Structure 1
Amino acid sequence: MILLTNCNNEMNINTIPYDNQLKKIKFDDITFNTIALNELPEPFYKDYSHHKNAAARNYRSYDTMEFRNIILEKLSVHLGVKVLKLLIITPKNGESTYDVFAYLSGKKIAGLHLGNSGNFKLWMDIIFEKQYKNLEEYRSNGQFEIQPELNPNPQFLLVLGKGQFSQKWVNSGMMMDERPYENTGSYLHKNAPQQYNEAKIAKEKKNYIKKYIDTTGCGTIDEAMLKRVFDELISTKQLQPNPPVNNTEFYQEFENLAGYTFPKELQVLLNAHNGIETQGFLSAEQILDEWKNWKEIYDSVDWMLIDLTGNNHPDGRKTIGIYTNPYWIPFMSTGDGNFIALDYAPGSKGKSGQIIAFGVDEIKIRWIAENMTDFLQEFIKETDVMSNGFEK
């Protein structure tokens, strides 16, 4: 049975596929790739300079969480493929390398040997300082004589990943320790990152968003009134829209991908323009492209539900607190990755087809207007409609 495959990247490293065959692999079956990470920074402290308390500003603590981010990034660059999670095991007695298992995007695992030297060693010594002190205490107080079943020369395991940072004992003889050298394949399979479980991740997102989906607003508009208001906006603001074009192919592609029709509100507007750069209105093609970009984020296994909902907040109960979802359709850019959008997944107090603000800088998903007509009318009045949802 072939256990190893070549990973098609700059280093052409040996990898193990993540599948059911993985469970049968033994430690000695694995070919480790020797890696030198000379570009890691020296240990540095967290920055507390912004803290209001003087004592807190002077506190010194090594920034091990930032080190986690750095080593994941550096190894990703070094290997030429994204590293999702690392299992780093301290050297055995008399050995000079760390055994490392790197979970890569594409459901492959690479065995690595990292040298116990340089800044990497300095960081490891800091991270495992407490474990080493405990081990010395056990030796000095005769703990290993009292409990001969314990291993006086254990190793330690560091687990690094998105939202993960933990230290564990390895082969110590304790009930709760880790045993990566026994049934290694099963151990690696059990500890795979959640990103490998696409079906589970997709199901969690689906169950979350289905409670809010409401596309009934797509067709419940007064088209004639909306056209009059948009024409008035163009005239009042002296806008210069690009001449309209036939957008049938974009509407059809959207419907095929989204599973619901391209909003009638936007079709009415796009009958009068093909983008208005000075005001941020997007063309049909741009709307489709931006919608696909955000849908790609939502669908990605790298974005679990907890990632999508962890940092964004609702605007009261009118919107939902999620970074993005396929039921927001951006039609206007406010710059730097931020958009005004139609919302077909409103909160419990919201309305299908309401106008919201979302994007890279929009921590709160702001409610802007009840519908497209109201939004345009507020524009004409020169009210600061774009600031709706900000704290006064």
Structure 2
Amino acid sequence: MNKEFDKFKQWLTHNYSDGLLDLNPPASDDEIKELTSTLGVELPEDFISVLKIHNGQKGEKAWLFDSQEFLSTHRIIEEFNTWKKLQVTKLQDKVSMPDDGVRSDWWNINWIPFTSDGCGDHYCIDLNPNSSGTKGQIITLWFESPEREIVSTSFSQWFEEYLEELNTGNLVYSKEYNSIVHKDEL
């Protein structure tokens, strides 16, 4: 993932240098251990390798992933704990309308958010797909919408597709939205 993340940093250098400055230093082994211990799961190696390059972003500048914050290990834990509390208090009877391969839960303890828009919407690593899904697939989790879509079969594939969208100009940095957005949104 080093090579792919270097391409992302190159794009940021040329298109949104403040975004590059917003990246955190690498996650330490202790931070990775705290994350996996708190979540109670083994995270995919491709995702861990990205956290060891940059532990998310500081959140002081624009969101780096499709109008969403790239979460650090500590922010992943915060979002995970928020969903865990909601599951107990407000979500236990809600079901979603998922793509084939995704469980019909509104939220599942094995859906690990790695982005956030600050309003309960995330891209998640799905570590508990149904029998027709792929462990580690990337899904959408929108707080107020029942759709749960598969957007990629792995984190590395998702990241490569994201880079392609940046490099083809389909995703751009917008000062107006202070975010990287689809060019169609401008």
1:292 deviation in Å?
1.7
Which residue, 77, 94, 115 being the options, matches 1:288? 77
Query: 1:308 aligns to what?
Result: 94
Residue 368 of structure 1 aligns to a residue whose secondary structure is strand
1:189-221 CA deviation, whole Å, 9 max, x = no partner? xxxxxxxxxxxxxxxxxxxxxxxxxxxxxxxxx
> What amino acid is the match of 1:308?
K
Query: 1:375 aligns to what?
Result: 158
1:297 aligns with 2:78: no
**Contact kept? 2:124, 2:140, Cα under 8 Å:** yes
Task: Note closer, same or farther for the CA distance 1:340–1:288 as it changes in structure 2 (3 Å cut).
Answer: same
Q: What is the CA–CA distance in structure 2 between the aligned matches of 1:235 and 1:332, rounded to whole Å?
A: 21
Q: What is the CA–CA distance in structure 2 between the aligned matches of 1:260 and 1:243, rounded to whole Å?
A: 23
Query: 1:274 aligns to what?
Result: 55
Q: What is the CA–CA distance in structure 2 between the aligned matches of 1:247 and 1:333, rounded to whole Å?
A: 22
Q: What is the CA–CA distance in structure 1 between the aligned matches of 2:72 and 2:10, rounded to whole Å?
A: 19
TM-score, normalised to structure 2, is 0.71
Task: Note closer, same or farther for the CA distance 1:320–1:362 as it changes in structure 2 (3 Å cut).
Answer: same
1:228 aligns with 2:26: no
How many residues in Structure 1 have an aligned counterpart in Structure 2? Answer: 154
1:304 deviation in Å?
6.6
1:303 deviation in Å?
4.4
Q: What is the CA–CA distance in structure 2 between the aligned matches of 1:356 and 1:344, rounded to whole Å?
A: 10
Query: 1:244 aligns to what?
Result: 25
Task: Note closer, same or farther for the CA distance 1:256–1:274 as it changes in structure 2 (3 Å cut).
Answer: closer
Residue 70 of structure 2 aligns to a residue whose secondary structure is coil
Task: Note closer, same or farther for the CA distance 1:232–1:245 as it changes in structure 2 (3 Å cut).
Answer: closer
> What amino acid is the match of 2:140?
A
Task: Note closer, same or farther for the CA distance 1:287–1:247 as it changes in structure 2 (3 Å cut).
Answer: farther
> What amino acid is the match of 2:153?
E
TM-score, normalised to structure 1, is 0.36
Task: Note closer, same or farther for the CA distance 1:262–1:296 as it changes in structure 2 (3 Å cut).
Answer: farther
Q: What is the CA–CA distance in structure 2 between the aligned matches of 1:356 and 1:378, rounded to whole Å?
A: 14
Kindly indicate whether structure 1 or structure 2 has the higher relative contact order, using CA contacts under 8 Å at least 6 residues apart: 2
Q: What is the CA–CA distance in structure 1 between the aligned matches of 2:94 and 2:107, rounded to whole Å?
A: 7
Aligned-residue CA RMSD (Å): 2.4
1:286-336 CA deviation, whole Å, 9 max, x = no partner? 1111112212223x2x3474x132xx1111x12122111110110112342
> What amino acid is the match of 2:94?
L
Residue 55 of structure 2 aligns to a residue whose secondary structure is coil
Tell me, which stretches of 5 or more residues in structure 1 are unaligned?
A: 1-225, 386-392
1:256 aligns with 2:27: no
1:341 aligns with 2:124: yes
Q: What is the CA–CA distance in structure 2 between the aligned matches of 1:334 and 1:304, rounded to whole Å?
A: 20
Query: 2:104 aligns to what?
Result: 321
Tell me, which stretches of 5 or more residues in structure 2 are unaligned?
A: 14-18, 172-186
> What amino acid is the match of 1:249?
D
Residue 308 of structure 1 aligns to a residue whose secondary structure is coil
Q: What is the CA–CA distance in structure 1 between the aligned matches of 2:53 and 2:128, rounded to whole Å?
A: 27
Q: What is the CA–CA distance in structure 2 between the aligned matches of 1:329 and 1:247, rounded to whole Å?
A: 19
Q: Quote the sequence identity (%).
A: 25
Task: Note closer, same or farther for the CA distance 1:263–1:374 as it changes in structure 2 (3 Å cut).
Answer: closer
